[in-house]
Amino acid sequence: MEEFYNLDLNEMFSKTESFEEATKIMLNRNVLTKTKNMLSEVLETDTSGLIGTIDINILVRCFLSSYLISWYSYDVFGSSDVTSSTICELELILLSKTITESIPTVEELVVWNEKFLKWKENDKQSQIEILCQMYHDYSRKIEDGDEKFPIEYIEGLKGMQQKIYHQLDKLVDDTKKCLEENPYIEIQYDDTVSRLVDTQIRKLWWDDVTKKIESGDFSDIEHVIDTICIYMCDFNPTNSSEYKELIDGEFIVQKLSNGVMKTMELGELFCFVLTELKKIDAKDSDVISDMYITQMKGQGEIKDIVDCMKYILNRLEFIEKCKEVIKKYKEC
């Protein structure tokens, strides 16, 4: 007991600067051993049989997860505030604050273990459903964009789709059957689940883009810039010649790769794109576009540039959807 108490896990977690750093504490052999010894002593006091025949190693990881939830609930649940958390998540957040204050009792361990494992199973099922929707959504994007977008962009989508397939492989026994049992759900603009699916797709994509840029691989920038150019030419054909000359993904990537163009100059390009975007976008978006223009005139940090590309592409895709809705309405 004393060895675990002296670890002072709350102090250890308080000094971490990221979720990834915090997870390393859970994998630390010294932490695992002392936590296991402490829990074994607690279980020896159990005369009620509440714990039953639970695997001590599973209990150790479940218990240590309470510290992760206590300090990094946003990273664990993906909810930025309590209003968007489920009842189960809120219960775990509250319980984590209690169970991590001192040596837990048998009763606290029983409640925590039951609720945590229940959430974990529900979360796994939710991940499976979301991944299936992501896979199907990529299939539609690939099919719909096959003739509209550059082959490199389509290949990029296929690569991301394959990654999703491999993720599903790790969660289910029969991936093909799972995809058949979870067919595509037609997106409704007010549907929370659909928005969540789309958010997950974009997060995977942009995380991958950022990592590649940081490693000096600008290939995805080429695909994104070319896609932006296609949208801009479609929305404003009068300026298409100028757009094709300035928003040329292949040429820009060549200059970036050779060191001829710096990230700051890339920021200047997006200032131009944002200025043109304002001409076709809703007026209430001007404030946000102006914010990005100011940001792009700064130091040109990779994170800011990726955020800006993300914003531009989101707005262009939204305008495209609005055009489709208007077109369907006129056809009725």
pLDDT tens profile 185-206: 765 444 444 454 455 556 666 7
What CA–CA distance (Å, rounded) separates 163 from 168? 9
Same domain, 208 and 290: no
pLDDT at 245 over 60: yes
Same domain, 244 and 295: yes
Q: Is residue 114 part of a domain?
A: no
Q: Is residue 109 part of a domain?
A: no
Q: Is residue 24 part of a domain?
A: yes
Same domain, 283 and 258: yes
Same domain, 169 and 251: no
Tell me how crowded residue 197 is: count the other CB atoms within 10 A of its CB: 22
What CA–CA distance (Å, rounded) separates 91 from 265? 49
Which residue among 159, 185, 214 closes a domain? Answer: 214
Name the band, by pLDDT with cuts 50, 70 and 90, for residue 329.
low
Same domain, 264 and 154: no
Same domain, 231 and 315: yes
Provide the number of structural domains found in the chain: 3
Same domain, 66 and 126: no
Same domain, 209 and 221: no
What CA–CA distance (Å, rounded) separates 5 from 61? 17
Q: Is residue 110 part of a domain?
A: no
* DSSP letters spanning 41-74: HHHHT--S--STT--HHHHHHHHHHHHHHHHHHH
Q: Is residue 303 part of a domain?
A: yes
Tens digits of per-residue pLDDT, 161-188? Answer: 888 888 888 888 899 999 998 888 765 4
Q: Is residue 86 part of a domain?
A: yes
Q: What is the mean pLDDT of residues 278-283?
A: 83
Cα dihedral 318, 303, 220, 228 sign: positive
Q: Is residue 115 part of a domain?
A: no
What mean pLDDT is reported for the chain? 80
pLDDT at 73 over 50: yes
Which residue among 168, 195, 214 closes a domain? Answer: 214
Same domain, 173 and 252: no
Helices (H), the chain: 2-7, 9-14, 19-27, 29-44, 56-77, 87-99, 106-145, 151-171, 175-181, 192-214, 219-235, 240-246, 249-257, 263-280, 286-296, 302-331
pTM for the model stands at 0.48
Q: Is residue 286 part of a domain?
A: yes
pLDDT given for residue 33 in this prediction:
92
Same domain, 208 and 222: no
Which structural domain range is residue 173 located in? Answer: 121-214
Same domain, 220 and 329: yes
Distance from the first to the final alpha carbon of the chain: 73
Calculate the CA 39 to chain-centre distance: 34
Which residue among 70, 104, 138 closes a domain? Answer: 104
Same domain, 98 and 130: no
